[in-house]
Structure 1
Amino acid sequence: MKLFGFNKKENTFRITDLDREWVEDNFKWLIKFCGYPNRQSEQIIITEKFFPNAFSNRGLLIQNVIKDLSNLLGLHSSKIKFEIHEDLRDVYGMPFEMQGKPFETETEFTDDNYTIHIAKTIADRPNRLIFSLINEFIKIRLTENKLQFDTGDDTSLFIFIAGIYFGFGIPLCQNLTDRGRIDDGFWETKWDYVSEMPTEVMAFGLATYSKLIEQDKPDWKNELPQEHRVQFERAIAFLNNSPSKVFSKAELDANDLFNQATKEYQNGDFESATTTLQKILFLTEDEMLKAEVFNNIGYHQLRCEDYEKSISNFQKALNIDSSNGFTYDNLGYALIQTGKIEEGKKQLVQALETGNHDIAYSYRNLALYYSAKNEIAKAETNFQLAFESETEPVDLLELHYANFLIKQGKTEKGMEYLRKAVKKGEPEARRRMNEITKN
């Protein structure tokens, strides 16, 4: 589908029905596969708050921008590499070419890894570089979500809508035009870039996103170029008079409940978190959110050692989303805890095959599997791999290792790890400590 144009009128926002339908259909499609945004969502600004690695150096380092964009989009930066290309075209101010076509950045997709090819001419222009990298990262994120986004003529326009959805509307908007020149005393290079995305359609996309999260006057609107800010305000007024059918208060309420359940879980109140999550199932039509809810309910039940119920909920989650490695890992853990160790091992292997899991949890679970089989050396190896792979604390790792050591007669070292588990605030560890001290 292409954009079919727009109309201008002083002090009035106008958008054709076809353009409006195009924007809203794309938001619906993104919501279907990636979920409804929540009220706490915000648009990203190029500041130290959002790009701490990039701002940690005086000069802009591409690898630091890649780290920040990976964190913002929930991607593994280790899977994303870059190459800078330079040849005689750069010397004479001409665009670099890939496969006979001029380019600034281009991503090469190989298996689960990505290589971003960057022309040196763009690498020397920070604003344009970040704008181009954001475009490539949006494509990578869509690919990670297994979404086919290359639909032909309107693909580049769709990337702008996806960019707004993922929170990058401000930098994309700030770079809809890019004009400038570089003079090194020998050769002058000029550029004059104007995006094919119409101002009104971009503004309507931003306004639609703001309406989805009930923010008519977001703080970030002041970061928009003046023309875009005016159009954004007009688009908000337009949507007040002609509300978007994409908006859903029920989905916003469901997301608020999800955030509430997360806080309850973090406070160790697993039963309240489970009750809160169950309320979401009566509100949401978002299948991906339902899968996450079933997974989290199962995980909270797992922490309460109600393994049979947790297994049922993990299976419900996988019936909706069979690609979630975290759920396979959780199911494998629960099965091992109930003595179904070979069935549990199959789920752990499935988690590894998905590629979207936490390897430290997988190693912890494999250690429990080998411990249950009394294969002590393999269990020890996997426990150590779990500790080495931690990027953030792994639930119950120290507790399980403590129990493993104590069972091997290494009580002193086991108690050392049990104290670490208690220090993490895990109620299971406190109960275990109480059992030992009473005896």
Structure 2
Amino acid sequence: MFRKTTFFVLAAFMASIAGQSAMAVGDTSEPPRKTKTSTQCKNGKIWDTRKGQCVNAKKSGLSDDVLFEAARELAYAGQYDNAIKVLEAVSDQRSARVLNYLGYANRKAGRMELGMQYYKRALQADENYILARSYLGQALVEQGRIEEAKVQLVEIRDRGGENTWAYRALLQSLGGLRHHY
């Protein structure tokens, strides 16, 4: 019985580590769930569950992870300028994930060139951040720069990301091309 329990604990731990590793490279397969941040808060405010109200992100004292997840939720909800305000409250402005979502929010808000600059800065911060490569590639597709987008698809694959959401999303943007590059 002890061996079986130890095996399951070890298996759960290894699965947990694998999940953390996938997140570390920026692969997110699920859109964030909606909370009161995206349904009730406005103008750079996010929902603080401890206080039970919307709070100014910059003055909230909430962790970078909480701020980042709130900004990601806002970006996926189409509240791009609000997402940018929240991202600006994150203390680590040089992190690849913050730079990537500043790129995403600006691109989706119609500021393509600014978005492209942020994607490039995200990749300077971490060249293995495959989600930034995916979003950069999707932006390149939107600009009709298909060959450059294919380069990003190859980069994702070559960095071990072929079985990730980042790879599949860019592949889909490229029209679901069946052959590998």
TM-score range, shorter chain: 0.5 to 0.7
Q: How does 1:219-230 map to 2 (within 5 A)?
A: none
Q: How does 1:122-271 map to 2 (within 5 A)?
A: 122-123=3-4, 126=5, 128-137=6-15, 140=18, 252-271=62-81
Q: Does 1:366 align with 2:150?
A: no
Structure 1: which amino acid aligns with 2:84?
Answer: T
* 1:297 and 1:310 in contact (8 A); partners too: yes
Q: Secondary structure at the match of 1:305?
A: coil
Q: How does 1:405-416 map to 2 (within 5 A)?
A: none
Q: Secondary structure at the match of 1:134?
A: helix
Q: CA deviation at 1:297?
A: 1.1
Structure 1: which amino acid aligns with 2:152?
Answer: Q
Q: CA deviation at 1:355?
A: 2.7
* 1:348 and 1:365 in contact (8 A); partners too: no
List gaps (5 residues or longer) in structure 1.
1-119, 147-249, 368-381, 385-439
Rounded Cα–Cα distance in structure 1 between residues aligned with 2:171 and 2:113: 23
Q: Does 1:279 align with 2:73?
A: no
Rounded Cα–Cα distance in structure 2 between residues aligned with 1:354 and 1:383: 19
Q: What corresponds to 2:31 in structure 1?
A: none
1:160-199: CA deviations, max 9, x gaps?
Answer: xxxxxxxxxxxxxxxxxxxxxxxxxxxxxxxxxxxxxxxx
Q: CA deviation at 1:344?
A: 2.2
Structure 1: which amino acid aligns with 2:9?
Answer: F
1:327-347: CA deviations, max 9, x gaps?
Answer: 111111112222333222211
Q: Secondary structure at the match of 1:129?
A: helix
Q: Secondary structure at the match of 1:268?
A: coil
Q: 1:251 to 1:329 in 2, by over 3 A?
A: farther
Structure 2: which amino acid aligns with 1:130?
Answer: F
Root-mean-square deviation (CA), in Å?
Answer: 3.3
Q: CA deviation at 1:325?
A: 1.6
Q: Does 1:320 align with 2:125?
A: yes
Q: Which has the higher contact order (CA 8 A, sep 6+)?
A: 2
Rounded Cα–Cα distance in structure 1 between residues aligned with 2:20 and 2:141: 34
Q: What corresponds to 2:156 in structure 1?
A: 351
Q: How does 1:13-24 map to 2 (within 5 A)?
A: none
Q: CA deviation at 1:134?
A: 3.2
The range that moved more, 346-355 or 258-267, is: 258-267
Q: CA deviation at 1:362?
A: 2.3
Q: What corresponds to 2:45 in structure 1?
A: none
Q: CA deviation at 1:143?
A: 6.9
Identity %: 21
Q: Secondary structure at the match of 1:279?
A: coil
What TM-score comes out, normalization by structure 1 length?
0.28
* 1:332 and 1:348 in contact (8 A); partners too: yes
What TM-score comes out, normalization by structure 2 length?
0.63
Structure 1: which amino acid aligns with 2:99?
Answer: F
Structure 1: which amino acid aligns with 2:145?
Answer: K
* 2:153 and 2:171 in contact (8 A); partners too: no
Q: Which of these two proteins has the greater Rg computed from alpha carbons?
A: 1
Count of residues paired in the alignment: 141
Q: 1:295 to 1:251 in 2, by over 3 A?
A: farther
Structure 1 residue runs of 4 or more that deviate by more than 3 Å after TM superposition = 134-146, 250-253
List gaps (5 residues or longer) in structure 2.
26-59
1:285-327: CA deviations, max 9, x gaps?
Answer: 7x6xx21011111111222232211111011111111112221
Rounded Cα–Cα distance in structure 2 between residues aligned with 1:253 and 1:305: 29
Structure 1: which amino acid aligns with 2:8?
Answer: I
Q: CA deviation at 1:139?
A: 5.8
